[in-house]
Structure 1
C-alpha cells in the first residue's frame, strides 16, 4: 500500500475506532525513517504497563546480545511504562502522525479490541503468523489476538484460573479440599457463611469491567462465552443464564462475597481478616493478589483445579492476559521480531519469563517439561504444575470482538441487577443484547 493510500485509509477509519477523532492522520509506513538494521547495535523502543515484562525482556535481550540463538544483534531497550490503554492510545496517535511509535508494546487482552477496530492492527502491527508457524499447533491462546485470520500479538501468560484456598481454614471447618462440583461447594459455602461469616469466592459489584470480567471467568468455564470464533455475539445462551443464577445464589447465601473490585481494598481486607478463605482466580493472582497483599499468610494457601459445573464445561478457565506486538516497517522490526520469537516461542525464553515474572508457558508441551513441573512454589508450598498442567489441557477458548467495550458497557448494569436479585437473568441478558446491537450499529 502506498504512503498516500495508507494515509487516506487511516484518515477515514483508524481513529474512528479508537476514540481519537481529533487527531490528524498520516502514514505509519517508513515510521521514524532509516534503513533496516540487520545486525549489530539496535535500540528497541519497548512499551509496557508491567515491570514483570520489563524484567523479562531485559534478560532475554541480554541473552540474545550474548549470542543466544545465534543472534547477530546487540540489544538496548528503551523502556516506556504506562497503563496499557494509554500506551495503545499513544501508539495509534503517533502512528497517525507518522513518527514516535514503539518497536514493541504489550496490549492487555481487554484493550486489544481497540486495535481490531478500523483496521488499526493491519495498518500498524506486524502479522506474526510466519514466526509462529513452526509451533502453531502447540501455541496456546492465539484466538484473542487474531484479526481476520492473522495473529498480531503473542500471549504472555496462559492465565490459568484455579481455586486458591486456605488449607488451615478448610481443615478447621471440616471442608474437603477435593469437592467435585461448584454446586456442592456452594452448599458447603452457604453453611460455612451461616456459621462463621466466611466466604469461598467473590462476585464483583463495582464498575462494569470488574462485574463482567468476574462473570466471564465463570461463564467460560461453564462452556459459554461472549463471542464465537466469527466474532458473533453468543451471550444469549443457557450457559449464560445458569452462570448468573449460580453467582446470584452464591451472593445471596454468602458463599460468594460481594466486593467492588476483586483487587481492591475491600477484597484485601477480607483476605487479611480471614473472611475470604478461597477464591477462583488466574495463576497471576498468586503473586499480585496473595503474595502482595497477605505475605504473612505464606504456607497457609494452596491451590487446586476449579470444581466443575454439574451442567458441564471445563476444569480450567482464564482471566486477563497481555499480548506483545511488533510495529511494522521500522528499522528495528527484524530485531524486534527476533526478540519476541526468542522470548515467547522457545523453551529458553519461556523459562526466563516464568522465572522473571511467574508467567506460565504458552507452549503446551512445556506443561510436561521437568524444568517447569519440578517447580515448588515457595508461597503455596506445592508443585503448582500438578494443578496447572491438567487445567491448561482443558482451557476454554476466549474469542474477541472489536466491540467488546460496547458489550461491557451494555451488560454491566443489567448483570449487576441480576446478581443482586433485582432482575431475572434472562431479562438482564435480553436487555444487554438489545443495547449492544443498537450501539454496535
Structure 2
C-alpha cells in the first residue's frame, strides 16, 4: 500500500511509545499532501511476551503486528535461528541518508544489517544529591572512580551513606550494573562479530573495583535499582549517588522520590585511571517493522519520520523524554537550553559530551546464556566469596559449556 487509509498494529511494553507514535501519526495524517491516513492500534505487554507472541504468530503465518518494540536484552532472541531475517524488514535503506549521524545501531544488527531503531541513547551518568554532597564537603567534579571510591569509603565510615550501588537480585540486575561500568572502562561482553571478549583485564579490574566498593561501604548492595529497598535507601538518604541511564531521572528518581525535587543533579561519570569513556549506556528499546505485510511501507514511513528526522526526534524528546539518537541534535540550540524541572539544570551540558564519548555495545544471540553464566560468579565476588579473576574465568567456562 503506497497511499490512503492504513491501520497499523503496534506492540510495545511502554506507554511512552504510545504517546510518541500517536502524536506523530496524527501529524503525518494531518499534513497537507500526506501519503497515509494512519490509525494505530496498540497492544501493551511485557517485551519478552510480545516477542514470544510475534515468533509464534510469525510461524503460523498470521497475527503479527506491523511494528514491535523489542527491549535491547530481548533482541538476541530474534538474532537466533534466522528469526530476524525471516520476520523483520532490514532498515539499512531507510537509515542510509543519516547513517553517519545515527547512534546505537550495533545492538540491533544481525549479520551486518540493522533490523530495529533505538528509541533512546540511554546515556549512563552519575546522579547525585547536591545537598548531601555540600553537607559532607564532597567535590562534585571528582575526576576518577578510584578517588571517588576513597571518598565514598570515608563517607560510609562516618555517616553510613553510600555513593553508589550494586545489584544482588536476579542475574539480569546483577550483570546490568556490572555491564555499565565494564563498557565505560572499555571492555564488553562480545565483539562486533558476536564473539565473547569477557575474559579481559578490564573485566577483572571492574569486578574487583565493585567488590572493594561493597566491602568499604562506598557501594551499597541492593536487590535492584527500582524496588522497595532501593526506594527506601533513597528516601532515608543512605544512597546519595548512583550510576544509571538518563531515563532513571523519570522512572527512578521522579517516580520514587518526587519530594527530593531540586536536590538531585547529574554529571558525567568519573573516569577509570586506566582509561575508557566519560559515559556508558544501559537499556534501550529498538522498534522493528514486520516485512511483507500490506502495511509495511506505511509503517516504515512512520518509523522514518518519527525516528530519523530532527522533527520526529524533537517530538519524542518532548513527549516521552527520549534522548536523540541523531548525533547532530546534541548541538541543537533548543535542546542545549533545555532545563529539567526536577533536576533544576540544563541536561545537555552533560548529555552532549556524553553522547560524543559513549561506548558501543555489541550483541550476541547467546546473551542470555552469558547472563546466566555470569550472574552467580559476579554475586559471589561482590559478597567477598570469590576472587574477580576466578569469577570471570568461571563465567567464561560455564558460557562455553552451555552452548556459548
How does the TM-score come out when normalised to structure 1? 0.91
Matched, 1:227 2:190: yes
Per-residue deviation, 1:418: 1.1
In 2, distance between residues paired with 1:67 and 1:127? 27
Number of the residue aligned with 1:415: 378
**Residue 223 of structure 2 corresponds to residue 260 of structure 1:** yes
**Post-superposition offset of 1:404:** 0.1
Aligned partner of 2:279 in structure 1 is: 316
- Counterpart Cα distance in 2 of 1:95 and 1:371: 43
1:420 Cα shift? Answer: 1.4
Residues of 2 paired with 1:184 and 1:434: CA distance? 34
Matched, 1:147 2:147: no
Match of residue 18, structure 2, among 35, 54, 57: 54
Selected match of 2:120 from 150, 157, 167: 157
3-state SS of paired residue (2:376) = helix
Taking the TM superposition and a 5 Å limit, the aligned residue runs for 1:286-301 are 286-301=249-264
Partner of 2:388: 425
RMSD: 0.8
Give, in angstroms, the shift of residue 371 of structure 1: 2.0
> 2: distance between equivalents of 1:360 and 1:440?
36
Structure 1 residue 71 displacement after superposition: 2.9
Aligned counterparts, 1:165-244, within 5 A: 165-244=128-207
Instruction: State the alpha-carbon separation in 2 of the partners of residues 51 and 196 from structure 1.
Output: 40
* 2:240 aligned residue (277, 290, 297): 277
- Three-state SS of the structure 2 residue aligned to 1:140 is coil
Question: Equivalent of 1:112, from 71, 75, 98?
Answer: 75
Q: Residue deviations 1:134-180, cap 9 Å, x none?
A: 00001000000000000000000000010010000000000000000
Structure 2 residue 308 is matched with structure 1 residue 348:
no
Shift of 1:311: 0.8
Kindly provide the CA deviation profile for residues 31-90 of structure 1, in whole angstroms up to 9, marking residues without a partner as x: xxxxxx22111111000000100101000101110117x531010101000010000000
- Aligned with 2:4 (options 30, 40, 49): 40
User: Which runs of structure 1 show a deviation greater than 2 angstroms over 4 or more consecutive aligned residues?
Assistant: none
Structure 1 CA distance, aligned partners of 2:220 and 2:276?
Answer: 23
SS of residue matched to 1:440: coil
- 1:399 matched to 2:356: no
Q: Secondary structure at the match of 1:340?
A: helix
Shift of 1:327: 0.2
**Helix, strand or coil: the match of 2:402?**
helix
Deviations 1:378-427 (A, max 9, x none): 00000000000001100000000000000000110011111111111111
Match of 1:331 in 2: 294
In structure 2, distance between residues paired with 1:168 and 1:137: 41
Structure 2 residue runs without a partner (length 5+): none
In the alignment of these two chains, the number of paired residues is 404
Q: What SS does the corresponding residue of 2:10 show, helix, strand or coil?
A: strand
TM-score by structure 2 length? 0.99
Structure 2 equivalent of residue 97 of structure 1: 60
